[in-house]
Amino acid sequence: MVFDAEAMAKIHAGLAAVRIPSWIDRPPTNLGEKAHGKLKADNWLVLITIFFPLILPEMWYEGELDLTMLRQICRRGKLYASANDSIKFGDPESPTVKALHILYGEDSISNSTSNNGERLSPMQETAHNGSGPILEASTYDMILSYWNQTYSPTYIHKSQLTYDLMNAGVKVLPTHAVELTHFKHKTRLFSIFRKNTGSSSISFRHPATGRKDFVYIQEVWKQALQGEYRIFVIIQPHTTL
């Protein structure tokens, strides 16, 4: 490909505007002209891996950038769909799914609260909950209170467990849970406050009083209880102005 004077001027201006550490050599200012001679292998490496990736997008935007971004978005969507299908209907241990878990995080790939329609065994529940950190006392108390007001059978607090109750089959709310940074609800993606302030702000109706309030999502925890995955959202009211 042969560049005209206008194209070369854009390339030279872009190369000159790139900010780099002092230990990296800049390409010659007359790059592309016969006078500068041949580039060394290291010069080509720096030019291709550092400079061109920084300046080429600005040169594409007039025609190719929109199409390129559209293609990348479509590819990303297909990749996500393939990953979720593999988890729900195929092999969740496949190399592709494992690689996506490393890239995006386990909770980013699938936030399903079910287990493909199958109930979790007590061993699976213990393994899932044990993979997360210990819940803070205030969070533990809130989850316990909400569960006992909403679901059955009820759980008891960890501090209430005695030797007699262990043999009586009484259930203790697990002290561990897996922390999520975001989750899906009715096709919408919600995040915790420290990750995305916009998608953490929600309108909330208190399940007990019916009162409506505006809050932000402070924490999200995923526990395996009664054979199913449960997601608990810890909220914080907005400060009154």
pLDDT digits (tens, 9 = 90+) for 110-149: 444 445 557 888 889 999 999 999 999 999 999 999 999 8
- Percent of the chain whose pLDDT exceeds 70: 73
Residue 90 belongs to what domain range? 64-109
Asked, for residue 117, whether it belongs to a domain, the answer is: no
The pTM of the full predicted model, rounded to 2 decimals, is 0.52
pLDDT reading at 198 higher than 60: yes
The C-alpha atoms of residue 234 and residue 190 are separated, in whole angstroms, by: 12
> For the segment 17-42, what is each residue's pLDDT rounded down to a tens digit?
887 766 678 888 778 777 767 878 88
Task: Compute φ and ψ for 159, nearest 5 degrees.
Answer: -75, -15
Asked whether residue 114 is assigned to any structural domain, the reply reads: no
Asked if 221 contacts 234 with a C-beta cutoff of 8 angstroms, the reply is yes
Average pLDDT over residues 74-86: 71
In a shared domain, residues 86 and 98:
yes
Task: Count up the domains in the chain and report the number.
Answer: 3
- Are residue 131 and residue 94 in the same domain, yes or no? no
Strand pairing category for 201-205 and 228-237: unpaired
* Per-residue pLDDT, 45: 86
Cβ neighbour number for residue 128 with a 10 Å cutoff = 20
Mean of per-residue pLDDT scores for the chain: 78
Sign of the dihedral through C-alpha 141, 179, 236, 213: negative
- By CB atoms closer than 10 A (0-12, 13-18, 19+), residue 174 is buried
**Residue 62 C-alpha from the chain's centroid:** 32
What DSSP state is assigned to residue 35? G
